[in-house]
Amino acid sequence: MELRVLRYFQTVVQQRNISQAAAKLHVSQPTISRQLRDLEAELGTTLLERGSRAITLTESGEYFYHQVEQILALADKTVDNLYNQNDIQGSFVIGAAEAKSFLNVAHALAHVQQDYPKIQAKIFSTNADEVRTNLKSGVFDFGVVMEPAIKTDYDFIHLPGESRWGLLVPNRSPLAQQDHVTLADLQQQKLIISHQSGMQDLLQDWFGDSFSQIQVVATYNLLYNASLLVSAGVGAALCLDGIVNTNQSDLVFVPLTPRQTAGSSLVWLKHQHLSTAAETFLKQLKSDLTM
């Protein structure tokens, strides 16, 4: 199984058409068709449903495409950093939870760019579960995760600053007129909560025996789409402050009382060999945090 063939497969899936993929890759259509048939034969499964208008993925194809995306991303990053190993350039990848403390990472990146303009950072906004998965596979070099987080297999740096928990509600809601919301208020709401692991445990800690009275109507990965659910009246989003800009919007963030906060950490796998670009960023972040 060659990387070249995986790129053929990736492009065909993205274009949904073999002719368009062939034109983009500057390869003949029969060549791509033959390579894809050989790939399916090698794997012993059908990856693509070849319709009259567009190509779609089978269930096996969906799984394989996800794996191919990670394989090619890792291959590209490795080649890029090997090619540039004699100079401080190249790229690294950070998977980041949504948090105000990411600003520490942003400042470090700005300082790195001033001294080493050929270094490129690739940022993926995601949750802690995806961060752990992609760190272990090597796709991510670093992750920014919210506390509390299991860090047994990771080295980490605590990022200064905390975010406060609260409720994102429409400005037409009676809660929008309050200075704060209580746990009792949350029990009266249709809640939209983060689906990452650990959220259920956090709510259990907050509510104790009353946890069963919580009504969760939806879960979210990133808060932007959850904010649209709030605007549409689906429910109120339990979230951290400072992630969604509520200025000139129909939404209001109301903090929770008693005050509940969450910090964050930059994490990376223990004993991981980081590229020169990644090491340069890490050194800069440590320097910034000690100033």
Dihedrals phi, psi of 12, to nearest 5 degrees: -60, -45
Token duo for residue 233: 């009246």
CA distance 201 to 219: 15
pLDDT-derived band at 85 (thresholds 50, 70, 90) equals low
Q: Given a cut of 60, is residue 286 above it in pLDDT?
A: yes
Residue 60 has pLDDT above 80, yes or no: yes
* pLDDT greater at residue 18 or residue 238: 238
Q: pLDDT higher for 196 or 31?
A: 31
For residue 75, the model assigns a pLDDT of 85
Work out the average pLDDT over 248-261: 94
pLDDT score, position 290 = 86
Burial (0-12, 13-18, 19+ Cβ within 10 Å), 262? middle
Residue 254 has pLDDT above 70, yes or no: yes
Q: Quote the radius of gyration of the chain (alpha carbons, Å).
A: 23
Domain residue extents for the chain: 3-74, 80-161+264-290, 163-261
pLDDT of residue 81: 67
The architecture in CATH of the region 80-161+264-290 reads 3-Layer(aba) Sandwich (3.40)
Using the structure block, give the residue that is written with the tokens 């990376």: 268
Query: Is pLDDT of 29 > 90?
Result: no
Strand segments (E) across the chain: 48-50, 55-57, 90-96, 119-125, 142-146, 154-170, 190-194, 215-220, 236-240, 251-255, 261-269
CATH class (in words) of the domain with range 163-261? alpha beta
pLDDT of residue 84: 56
SS3 125: strand
Cα–Cα distance list, 152 to 156, 200, 267, 269, 286 (Å): 10, 21, 11, 9, 20
pLDDT of residue 215: 93
Calculate the average pLDDT of the chain. Answer: 89
Give rounded-to-5 percent helix, strand, coil for the chain: 45, 25, 30
Q: Is the peptide bond before 258 cis (omega within 30 degrees of 0)?
A: yes
Q: Exposed (0-12), middle (13-18) or buried (19+): which is 71, by Cβ within 10 Å?
A: middle
Same fold, 80-161+264-290 and 163-261: yes
Q: Which residue has the higher pLDDT, 82 or 168?
A: 168
Q: Of 291, 285, 243, give the one whose Cα is nearest residue 92.
A: 285
Q: Cis (ω within 30 of 0) for the bond into 160?
A: no
Q: 186: helix, coil or strand?
A: helix
Note the pLDDT of residue 288. Answer: 93
pLDDT tens string 86-115: 567 889 999 998 888 999 999 999 999 998
pLDDT grade for 189, boundaries at 50, 70 and 90? very high
pLDDT-derived band at 83, boundaries 50, 70, 90: low
- Residue 181 in 3-state DSSP? strand
pLDDT attached to residue 87: 62
Confidence at residue 52, expressed as pLDDT on a 0 to 100 scale: 67
Specify the CATH architecture of the domain 3-74: Orthogonal Bundle (1.10)
